[in-house]
Structure 1
Amino acid sequence: MLARRRRLPLRLVRCVALLAALGLVLLMGPGAAAHALVASSDPADGATLASSPSQIVIMFTEQPDLKRSLIQVLDTSGHKLAGGAPEPVAGQPSTVVRIPVTATLPKGVYTVSWKSISAVDGHLATGAFAFGVGQAPQPGSAKTTVKTPGPSEVAVVARWFYLYGLIGLLGLSFTELVVLRGRSSPARLHWAMAASWVVAAGGLAGLTQAQASGAGLGVGDLLSSSIGRALLLRGVPLLLAGVVAALVLAGVRRLREAGVGPLAVVTLAAMLGEVLKSHAAASTSWTWLRVGEQWVHFVAAGVWIGGLAGLLLSLGPLGPGSRGPAARRFSFWAGIAIVAVGITGTLRAFDEVGTWHGLFHTGFGQLIVVKIALFGLLGLLGALNRFRNVRAVEASPRGLRRTGGAELVAMAAVLAATALLQNLAPARTAAAAGATTLSPVVIDANDFATTYRLHLTVTHDTAGFNTFALTVSDYESRKPAKIDGTKITFHYTDSPAVGDSSLQLARQPDGSYKAQGANMAVVGHWLLTVNVSNGVHSVDVPIDIVTQTQPEPTTSQAFQGSPTVFTVSLPGSRSVQIYIEPVRLGKAEFHATFFDAKGQELKMATFAAMAFRMPGGSAALLPFRQLSQGHFVADAPATLGTYSFSVAGTTADGDALGATISLPVA
């Protein structure tokens, strides 16, 4: 009776872990898939152009398969006016593609419809955005859409089998090479190697079929696609592993001993092939470092869990006197593997999630939390084995078998979560894909002598890479001015530590000037000096601008007789509370108060606020007064309507903070 009570918790652990694995596969399968989503475009979503564009340029979050992806320009009747398979842009990263627009688009609103198949992992995504020529897209008339078909149960289960098969191949090879170390390995170990290969091969076949079906590819088109290339990258080393495993299973003893080493090597190559078609390979910087982290993570899991399976299979044939040394050797290497899994997993989670909000408020981040919880369970079971069951294995292997079996079942749940993660866009990718939700900032200005009128459009006015488009016209006639050239100098007003920079704008066929650059690299208030070069008529025009920030979690509180207060989350668990006093006597007031993580008012060293009426209004800096160390009030626009407000400033410690929010002035 007592023995049954002791076995009950471990049986319960196995059941819970198995149910978790099945639940992850069957219930969470329909989540949003990855991965080549639109990060930015030219024309931008919602942009209004003065004349017909000569091309459509899109930057994706991952490299698209050019042969299988599609970009089209449609009019309001759905007629195709331009488009086809995209082509690379010279001098740009492989994520940037274009299609030419040879026809002259008349005044109107147009939709860019796109379909991408990721060259990294073969996933399909579709979407659309709108722009206007001589006419602004009306709100709601051309809504931006993105659709990423959810991973099918077949794809998730197939990847689950594939990962478990590779882990089994590596771990069983590790058992024979390191754990048993020269002792005659039991036949069941070699049969398990063959079974692991069958599981991995079946999983790879199912995964490829599911991806090809989702992308609409036939057998004849498979090998010429990114999905087919991924099959070769994964399948060739796996095929070699199958040949070696067959020789090990059928060969004489010497052939078996000589074949296990090559089997481990080709399995490591197959694992690398899988990693090269994962999120890590889609990184835009330090790619090989991230690939290395993911590969070490995968290999360490194979040594730990696959090696545990090999040890459990070998306990009976080893017998007393041999079980103890083998178990202790495995325990030593498993301890190293657990540490490696924890460190590399943390690095990969930080890279793919990036923020606490992304961890707890996105499907990808929530699966990371599930993996962390399951990893904790595995760690506890591993500790129980290391400090209790390994010591008692000579007397009886029963405890090690029971706890080890629970570890293997828990690992099944971890791999189910991993299979789902490979079919979801990382939180950072999703955030990058959402960057196009910000409206371009338009600023109208003129020089002191009223020689020129300037119309500057900044897309998307965020900290980092932006597009600057400028038109210069005569102040009196409002006709395009003939000038020699123009450039913009950037000065960050919030800190002298950020040096000034400049950006030369290139003349466009329509007479405007355009350039792209990451000159506004920090959140905050920037002073742009636009130099219009035209001999003795050259002028410098100062323009103030506050960077926009991507939407952050926002809550609102309505109070009877008082304005609604909006609280926007900021990095470091800080926040800013924003509200607008109603218009009275032709005047409205905009309030912003910064708070620290404890809810105390945050001492701010600098502050700036900018607003523009939506859609397409000219942006302007708002004059403000400081009421307390973190509370500022600015003169809001008095004209009724919906406005985009951007606030930014630096704390007393030098941290740059900012928020963008759309609010009505009523």
Structure 2
Amino acid sequence: MLYLRRFRTMGRMLGLAFPLVVLLLFFSALPAEAHAILLRSDPGKDAVLSTPPTRVSMWFSEDLNPTSSTAEVVNATNTRVDAKDAQVTANDPREMIVSLPANLPPGVYVVVWRTQSADDGHVLRGSVRFSVAAADGTVPQVTGKVAPGTGILGGTSNTASGQLDTTSFISFLMITLVDLCVVFWVGAQLWHNFVLQLNDTEDVELRAADQRAAARFEHGFALPVLLLLLVANIGVLIGQGLDISNGDWGQALAPTTFQDLLFHSRFGSFWILRLGVVVIALVLAAFTNVVRERPRAMDSILSWLNLLLSLALLTAVTLSGHAAAVSGNLQTFAILGDWLHLLAASLWVGGMLYLSLIYLPGLRRSALSERAYVLLSTLGRFSPLALVGVVIMAISGPFNAVVHMDSFAQLLTTAYGRSLSIKVLLVVALLVTSAIHVLVYRPRLKKVAAQYDRAVDQTEASADDEEKRPLASAPEVKQLERAVERQSRRLTKVLHWEPVLGVAVLVCTGLMNVFAGSLLPAVSQPTSQPTATVKPYHGTFPTKDHQFTINLTVSPNRFGTNVFTVSVLDSKGKPDTNVGVSVYTSMLDMDMGTDSVNLQPDGKGHFSAQGDLNMGGHWQLRVEIRTPEDTLHSGTVDITTPF
């Protein structure tokens, strides 16, 4: 009956969270993509124009922060040529325009853009290349050593190559501190409501241990944790300012930068909500430190208020995070999945942190038998809470991975994917460690503690009746006492290691947040000059139905415009030129859509055309062959393109 009451109480309390989430989702579930990426532009990428354009228009996958999103246009010598009036249009928050001077001379031009999502605040950079042809139809070639667009608007972020520079490290540190403080503080509130308040026993030692734990958190941890959370929350905003200003501290700390970040995006609104919740929690924590002698009814009210604040904090953090920028149909599920994942971390990891840092230190002064009894009883009350966290994490974790990633290859080819892979391994290690303490060490301690209690009772009864030797000299009791102490020490050691693994999981989560802006591969930074390692790609592979063999060449196989050349061999190994050939390019490291290149016969048994690989990294090329009977045959190959 006791466990039944516990689960009913837990269900009622956790049920309070879902109406809050649904209410906020109702007002915030707007269509979005996984960050503000470029969908199309005018002029289009690699366009060759006979008439100079008067402006560039770009359309992105989600609403932009108009004060932090911009663009510049440079020529082949990396000289800026636009009118310096880049802006997000008033009637479409997903469109950005920039004016160009009249009679733009023939040449190659690069539009470098930087966007900040209005949903999750992430910053993304990219470029579009187009050319203006001369009167005779020719296009001047780029002859400079520095590629056009290099170093404009901060260039390529180090997070794209899986590296942490000063700016990205600050963001990573602040995000990780926010997650750690949120998980610990929310986990403490869940402990107070679902573990400590479910103690129905009249055992004096058990109640004293619970009271010591509650007082230890209120007077020694609540205020410092919330203050650190407040500082880290502000640090997240500073990190975004540094990202936008390319590491310029003066500009990042300027009041206008904070104003732009806070009042021109939904991220800013939910950041303010996060700040408000933390400030209210700080006021309540200060009150509990000042007014230590309180009626029991007031303690119950404070516990309820802190629980509601913790649920509101989880919601605000989720709505200002990565899930807020997922595509429209999945956005509600992504936000709910992230919220549940954060709740699971609070139940499991936050609960273990509370057990290790708050509860266990209070048992050191207890007698051995009482310590074992209190520890076993408390773990029995905490286990249902941890089990709920494990189940929720097991369900929400894979869903979040599917939502934010496009292929299993990204687990190895991207910094985000590698961080996720390490996180999964750490979670498995955490599960194994938890299983050891639940299935091995705890039953052993329970068994030997019961034997010790029986031996003590028998020895005391024998001493009372026959005035035999005192308890301390009974060999059997001494041996059992040492066994209880040894098993308690083993169990306690495991309980201290579990939260360490949990913290490592949160560190991986922080890395995923930093590297999730574009899911770029962890490759070295692009250089301003082509290196000797850049070689054309040559490959031979069959179609899926093995009716044709494809010889593919991509030259020069680097960032920018490339020539795709294909020769087709039939099932007998003879060239077949009576077909149509197209190449479809898809970036594996981030969702950029799929582009097509229609190849033309060159009269020599080959099909070729120019196409664009607009960033270095891992690409999938699908070669599609259309026969005169209008049947399609396709084969795919993955290539790595240097910068």
TM range (shorter): 0.5 to 0.7
Q: Is the counterpart of residue 610 in structure 1 residue 582 in structure 2?
A: yes
- Alignment partner, residue 457 of structure 1: none
SS at match of 1:354: coil
Mapping of residues 232-271 of structure 1, within 5 Å: 232-251=272-291, 252-254=294-296, 255-271=298-314
Distance in 2 separating the partners of 1:576 and 1:259: 73
Q: Is the counterpart of residue 148 in structure 1 residue 151 in structure 2?
A: no
- Alignment partner, residue 578 of structure 1: 550
Mapping of residues 235-634 of structure 1, within 5 Å: 235-251=275-291, 252-254=294-296, 255-285=298-328, 286-312=330-356, 313-315=358-360, 316=362, 319=371, 321-391=373-443, 395=449, 397-425=488-516, 565-567=539-541, 578-579=550-551, 590-591=567-568, 609-610=581-582, 619=598
Q: Is the counterpart of residue 206 in structure 1 residue 271 in structure 2?
A: no
**Residue 409 (structure 1) shift:** 0.8
Distance in 2 separating the partners of 1:377 and 1:193: 29
Which ranges in structure 2 are unaligned for 5 or more consecutive residues?
A: 1-33, 200-209, 246-251, 364-369, 450-483, 523-534, 554-564, 572-578, 585-595, 613-620
SS at match of 2:104: coil
**Residue 314 (structure 1) shift:** 2.5
Flag the structure with higher helix content.
2
**Residue 66 (structure 1) shift:** 0.8
Distance in 2 separating the partners of 1:324 and 1:635: 78
Query: Is the 1:565–1:577 Cα contact (8 Å) retained in structure 2?
Result: no
Moved more, 207-216 or 276-285: 207-216
Distance in 1 separating the partners of 2:515 and 2:542: 27
**Residue 291 (structure 1) shift:** 0.9
Distance in 2 separating the partners of 1:266 and 1:655: 58
Distance in 1 separating the partners of 2:64 and 2:343: 28
Query: Is the 1:247–1:256 Cα contact (8 Å) retained in structure 2?
Result: no
Distance in 2 separating the partners of 1:319 and 1:86: 66
**Residue 304 (structure 1) shift:** 0.6
Query: Is the 1:248–1:260 Cα contact (8 Å) retained in structure 2?
Result: no
Q: Is the counterpart of residue 173 in structure 1 residue 173 in structure 2?
A: no
SS at match of 1:73: strand
Query: Is the 1:120–1:226 Cα contact (8 Å) retained in structure 2?
Result: no
Task: Find 2:624's aligned residue among 637, 648, 652.
Answer: 648
Aligned residues: 461
**Residue 337 (structure 1) shift:** 0.9
Query: Is the 1:57–1:99 Cα contact (8 Å) retained in structure 2?
Result: yes
Aligned-partner residue type, residue 223 of structure 2 = A
Distance in 2 separating the partners of 1:140 and 1:292: 52
Q: 1:661 to 1:623 in 2, by over 3 A?
A: farther
- Alignment partner, residue 531 of structure 1: none
**Residue 157 (structure 1) shift:** 2.0
Distance in 1 separating the partners of 2:271 and 2:542: 45
**Residue 369 (structure 1) shift:** 0.7
**Residue 378 (structure 1) shift:** 0.6
Distance in 2 separating the partners of 1:177 and 1:576: 67
Q: 1:75 to 1:621 in 2, by over 3 A?
A: closer
Larger relative contact order (Cα-Cα within 8 Å, sequence gap ≥ 6): 2
- Alignment partner, residue 462 of structure 2: none
SS at match of 2:499: helix
SS at match of 1:224: helix
**Residue 174 (structure 1) shift:** 0.8
Q: What is the TM-score normalised by the length of structure 2? A: 0.62
**Residue 567 (structure 1) shift:** 4.9
Q: What is the root-mean-square deviation of aligned Cα atoms in Å?
A: 4.3
Task: Find 2:217's aligned residue among 159, 167, 189.
Answer: 189
- Alignment partner, residue 460 of structure 2: none
- Alignment partner, residue 109 of structure 1: 108
Query: Is the 2:414–2:521 Cα contact (8 Å) retained in structure 1?
Result: no
Q: 1:85 to 1:611 in 2, by over 3 A?
A: closer
Query: Is the 2:38–2:60 Cα contact (8 Å) retained in structure 1?
Result: yes
Q: What is the TM-score normalised by the length of structure 1? A: 0.60
SS at match of 1:45: coil
- Alignment partner, residue 606 of structure 2: 636
Distance in 1 separating the partners of 2:287 and 2:128: 56
**Residue 205 (structure 1) shift:** 2.9
Which ranges in structure 1 are unaligned for 5 or more consecutive residues?
A: 1-33, 432-554, 558-563, 582-587, 595-606, 625-633
- Alignment partner, residue 454 of structure 1: none
**Deviations along 1:286-343, whole A, 9 cap, x unmatched?**
2121011011101110111111222343354585655434312211221121121122
